[in-house]
Amino acid sequence: MFLPNLSWNWTALGTALVAVCFCIGSHAAFGDLHPVTVVKVENQPSYQVERLFAGRVVGSQRADIGFEFAGKVVRLNVENGQSVRRGDILAELDTTSLLIEQKELQASKEEVTARLEQIGRDLQRYRSLSEKGYVSQGQLDQLESEQRATRAQINQIDEKLRGVAVRLDKARLIAIFGGEIANVSIEEGVIVKAGQSVMQLVETGQIEAIFGVPGELGRELVLGQSLPVYSKLGQWQAQVLAVSENLDWRTQTRSVRVALPEGIPHVDGETIQLLVPAFRQQKGFWVSQSALLGDVRGTWAVYQVTDQGEHTRIVKRSVRPIYHHDGLVFVSSELKTGDRIVAAGTHRLAPGQAVKVKAAGDPTAAVHSGPAAESANAQ
């Protein structure tokens, strides 16, 4: 009697366990589906990239300055980094010999002027005597000729005096505009040649920056266009001032000059970066980087959410990443506009798995606010 009762008890227990497992499985299949966030695909005919180019800050005016005449530097009034105003005297040459020459010419002029005055008086007397017949016409003509020669001599001395005055004025190196001194290459006591560059004057009021931009991209820029510039100190908006028509044959780039805003904490020669948008014709759509999952042989895929009967399941679809920026990836695929894909958490899913849609999002809602990975070297 004992053994049959034991067999019946084990059979009943097994039946109960199967029923419990079925209930648990059914509950997991219908009540505990994995929740996923989905986004809708929106195909686009093109995508925008943001290319970063390094350039250098320059003053709106930069001049290599020097003396127009050779001479010895007797006074240097500035040093590198010093701010100056328009009309300030930057350096001076020795003018001792010029001052001596000036005095000699002035003395000669006084002497010749006195002789001219005497000739004038003699000429007046000769004319009076000529009327009375005491002086021949030849003597009168000779005196008038001497008067003309003396006047010409005075004019010649005046021209020499003006030349000395110009050289005295040019012996002082004057700031032609307000700015900052750079690259001073002289000291007091040295001899400089005529036209030799002795320092640079860089305007500091309005500063600019110069960049080298590829030919096709540079052609799309418009004068007055506002573009962002970056440095480790911050971000500002610059305005396009000029785009060169010719390409640099070495770099195949166009020179782009932009005006930087007032008060920007940069000085001449520093590096700064320009962000230039560019559109590329390629069909595809934007997805969040978290929506991608690795596929076979180094390829990529996304999970498409499909309705299959009573259940919502995921299907793996291959995609080809084209461009990555700021957490978003532009991909090409056979997916159509309106198709739903899983936005995140793909590593916890498997193809064919039944899921529960939690919410919908927009893969392109992120704002492009930083520079892209594409960059160019400083010019």
Per-residue confidence in pLDDT tens, the chain, 379 aa: 333 443 434 344 444 444 433 443 444 444 568 888 899 999 999 998 888 999 998 876 788 999 999 999 999 999 998 999 999 999 999 999 999 999 999 999 999 999 999 888 888 787 777 766 677 777 777 888 888 999 999 999 999 999 999 999 999 999 998 888 999 999 999 999 999 999 999 877 678 899 999 988 888 888 999 999 998 888 999 999 999 988 888 888 899 999 988 878 777 788 999 999 888 888 999 999 999 999 888 899 999 999 887 888 989 999 999 998 888 999 999 999 999 999 998 888 899 899 988 755 555 443 333 344 444 444 4
Q: Which CATH number fits domain 95-169: 1.10.287, 1.10.3470, 3.90.550, 2.60.40?
A: 1.10.287
Domain 34-47+281-376 has CATH 3.40.1280.10: no
Tell me where in the chain the CATH 1.10.287 domain(s) lie: 95-169
Helix (H, G, I), strand (E, B) or coil at 231: strand
| Closest among 240, 239, 227, 234 to 274, alpha carbons compared | 227
| Closest among 302, 332, 297, 331 to 314, alpha carbons compared | 302
Residue 83 CA, chain-centre distance (Å), reads: 24
Site of tokens 């849609």:
357
pLDDT for 358? 79
Beta carbons within 8 Å of 297's beta carbon, 6+ residues apart: none
CATH class given for the domain over 51-61+201-279: mainly beta
What's the CATH fold of domain 62-92+171-199? OB fold (Dihydrolipoamide Acetyltransferase, E2P) (2.40.50)
Rounded Cα distance, 195 and 292, in Å:
66
Rounded Cα distance, 357 and 349, in Å:
13
Tell me where in the chain the CATH 2.40.30.170 domain(s) lie: 51-61+201-279
Tell me where in the chain the CATH 2.40.420.20 domain(s) lie: 34-47+281-376
Strands (DSSP E) along 67-214, which ranges?
71-76, 83-84, 89-93, 172-174, 179-182, 191-192, 199-202, 207-214
Rounded Cα distance, 49 and 35, in Å:
34
pLDDT for 32? 67
> Using an 8 Å Cβ cutoff, are 326 and 288 in contact?
no
- pTM above threshold 0.75: no
pLDDT in tens, 272-320: 999 998 888 889 999 999 999 998 888 999 999 998 878 889 899 999 9
Q: Find the radius of gyration of the CA atoms of the chain.
A: 45
Rounded Cα distance, 73 and 88, in Å:
17
Q: How many CA atoms lie within 13 A of 240 on its CB side?
A: 22
Tokens of 73: 């530097």
pLDDT for 6? 38
| Closest among 32, 29, 35, 33 to 343, alpha carbons compared | 35
In one-letter notation, the amino acid at residue 325 is H
In one-letter notation, the amino acid at residue 7 is S
Tokens of 356: 């529960």
Number of H helices, E strands in the chain: 4, 22
Count of CB atoms within 10 A of residue 207's CB? 21
Burial string for 40-69 (b: 16+ CB within 10 Å, else e) reads ebeeeeebebbbbbbbbbbbbbebebbbee
pLDDT in tens, 40-52: 999 999 998 888 9
Q: Mutual orientation of helices 96-132 and 137-170 as an angle, nearest 10°?
A: 160
> Using an 8 Å Cβ cutoff, are 274 and 238 in contact?
yes
Residue 76 CA, chain-centre distance (Å), reads: 34
DSSP for 85-107 reads: -TT-EEEEE--HHHHHHHHHHHH
Tokens of 169: 């004025």
Beta carbons within 8 Å of 375's beta carbon, 6+ residues apart: 51, 52, 53, 54, 273
Tokens of 88: 């300030």
> Using an 8 Å Cβ cutoff, are 250 and 206 in contact?
no
